[in-house]
Chains A and B, each alone.
Chain A
Amino acid sequence: MSTTPEARAGHGPLVEVEHLTKHFPIKQGVFSRAKGVVHAVEDVTLTVNRGETLGIVGESGCGKSTTARLIVRLLDPTSGAIRFDGRDITRVGQRRLRPLRQEMAIIFQDPYSSLNPRKSVGQIFFFLNDTAPTEKDKKQRVQELLDRVGLSPEHYNRYPHEFSGGQRQRIGIARALALQPKLIVCDEPVSALDVSVQAQILNLLKSLQDEFDLTYVFISHDLSVIRQVSDRIAVMYLGHIVEIGNSELLYEHPRHPYTAALLSAVPRPETNGGTSTRQRIVLSGDVPSPVDPPNACVFHPRCPRFQPGHCDVETPLLRRFEGDQEAACHYPVERWPMTEEELRHPFGGRAAAESR
């Protein structure tokens, strides 16, 4: 009984984030003076519609996990605004957040460290004690949840070390579902699992979404997984959103050179298998440090399309394309696929100066 994303999304955004910024100070010196700042998340604006899955993808240090934690207010933003279900939760204190916490849940990446090893499964659900009238009711509710995620009732009394990685992740999912949230943030939920188990968990998440009308923010570095689960996608680099929009449109025709490079880099089985003749766009160098991000367009030092005098001087803003697609680039990718050589020449030739 799966409903289409369009049908579910008809009710307006569940999460709205505007110009969200998070800086982490670096302390040093005898008296812990702030020496610098990590620009973890910089001016992020996005919305998550009800019932949809927003995928956030990017490499390490891009700020995707930090963004997720900001949305559920596990972290305090440095500036910007966050609205959940119409309510502004940007500066709300922890105490007033508590009832809201029932509506937002989070699943973490590492099934081995996100469960308290000293608590049995039943004890992990202690927070249900308030909502269930008796111990027996609580146990029943927990066992229902366990059943829904594919575990069995007798797992109630077991301890985390007795479970496999995939099973632990199921417990984490059950825990997230327990208070019937509207939003679940999934932070790399399958990255630490074997391939054959990944598919089980992804299928489970999908069926839960259909059954309970959930909204997901799904974070991953794995572009294949993101394509499989997301309705819309945000691509992040060094704390900025470089591209955001409908998932299919993005994969069919990425607009930002970084997105293009990411897609190009993913190894995949092909119809002629074996040694690939596919042309890859290989970015040079490493991701710069978020303490000292580059000027203007943060991607310009590694961008195959970099035009000096423009990209390192003027910050590109998110620009809308046909359909639901936005990208922040002065020289967006004109067509797809493209080789690295073709990418280097925007507009097929003498670029910047003339087209400005």
Chain B
Amino acid sequence: MLIYLVRRILWAILVVFVVLFITFLVFFKLPNGDPALRFAGKTPTPAMLDEIHHRLHLDKPWYIEFGYFVKTFATGDQYGWPGLGYSYNSFASVKSQIVYRAPRTLWLIAGAATLWLTFGVAIGVLSAVKRRTLVDRLAMGFALFGISAPVFWLGLIALYIFWRTLHWTAGTGYTPIAQGPGQWFSHMILPWVVLSMLYTAIYARMTRNNLLETLGEDYIRTARAKGLSERRVIFRHGLRASLTPIVTLFGLDVALLVGGAIITESVFNLQGLGWMAINSATQQDLPIVLGVVLCTATAVAFMNLVVDIVYAFLDPRVRYS
């Protein structure tokens, strides 16, 4: 088991390294243009361009460039670790921006993920057990709605109803939890629900299908033949075996939201990583975009590792192969 873990961690590091390389190629080596110009943002002065040339070692061979890039990333620059430089538009360090905004995104993901995992699986199980009854059809109808309704529309509707009309929640914006848990919660509850809708629907469908398939397996028949209660058969035997694809998907979904919850963050003005990324992209503020890309990549590599570990924990056949 330990060897398995070590192996997975090594792979994860390798993946991050590969992402760094591809990022480097994309941002530094795209033809047609001076990378310095790309990095300099909207209003480059010749002095800035010189500085960028020097700092990023753009006159040296590509492997030296890359070497410095990795070294700076790994060991840090004047702003600390990892070394991501600073934005030429706002002159704020990339790292500080990420540190400032990451908690919002992470809270958003944590809350939404908890909601969608709990409700998605629960609805899926209910649907599977009560297959073809009204409950099942309603649940799957809801699933269809959740998958089809655009997030921005849901978000605006939710704001209109729960904030504007009913005054139950706070509106757009974000309050850090330290400054007032009540306010924080009030700001987060709608984004959580709205973001999780789509995923709840997907997970409900997936759970339902997986569970139905599993319930047709021979070992379920054995469990019933032993005289186990139906509840035990469905949860301990059925659900347990259906979980593995859900876990895999969950890891990926969570990881991609790290820089990807763009619409939700924008509609609710949470100004998290996704929001920052899109704004920086439109303003051609490359260092920030790069920073967010690396965040997402690291999140994916990390979540893959977590998923693999959980997978091995769930399915002993994987452990012993």
Contacts and interface: CB of A to CB of B under 8 A. Distances in A.
Judge A-B direct contact (beta carbons within 8 Å).
yes
B231 interface: no
A30 interface: yes
Nearest to B11: A30
| Chain B interface size, under 10 / 10 to 19 / 20 to 34 / 35 or more | under 10
B7 interface: yes
B267 to A, nearest CB: 44
Interface string B289-314: 00000000000000000000000000
Nearest to A29: B7
Contacts of A30: 7, 10-11
Interface residues of A, number: 1
B13 to A, nearest CB: 13
State the majority secondary structure of interface residues on B: helix
A253 B174 CA distance: 89
Nearest to B7: A30
Nearest to B14: A30
State the majority secondary structure of interface residues on A: loop
Contacts of B7: 30
B240 to A, nearest CB: 27
A197 B7 CA distance: 52
Interface string A8-51: 00000000000000000000001000000000000000000000
Contacts of B11: 30
Contacts of B10: 30
A30 B10 CA distance: 10
A242 to B, nearest CB: 31
A30 B11 CA distance: 9
Interface in B1-47: 7, 10-11
Interface in B182-206: none
Nearest to A30: B7
A163 B171 CA distance: 64
Nearest to B10: A30
A79 to B, nearest CB: 29
B4 to A, nearest CB: 11
Interface string B104-134: 0000000000000000000000000000000
B12 to A, nearest CB: 13
B269 to A, nearest CB: 46
A150 B161 CA distance: 72
B210 to A, nearest CB: 24
Nearest to B321: A28
A30 B8 CA distance: 10
Interface string B126-148: 00000000000000000000000
A30 B9 CA distance: 12
Interface in A260-307: none
Interface string A214-241: 0000000000000000000000000000
Nearest to B3: A29
B7 to A, nearest CB: 6
B160 to A, nearest CB: 51
A2 B299 CA distance: 73
A181 to B, nearest CB: 39
A125 B263 CA distance: 55
A30 B6 CA distance: 11
A1 B314 CA distance: 63
A73 B249 CA distance: 42
B154 to A, nearest CB: 41
A30 B4 CA distance: 10
A337 to B, nearest CB: 38
Nearest to A28: B321
A255 to B, nearest CB: 40
Interface in B161-194: none
B57 to A, nearest CB: 33
B23 to A, nearest CB: 24
B281 to A, nearest CB: 37
Interface of B: 7, 10-11
3 contacts: A30-B7, A30-B10, A30-B11
Query: Which 3 interchain pairs have the tightest Cβ spacing?
Result: A30-B7, A30-B10, A30-B11
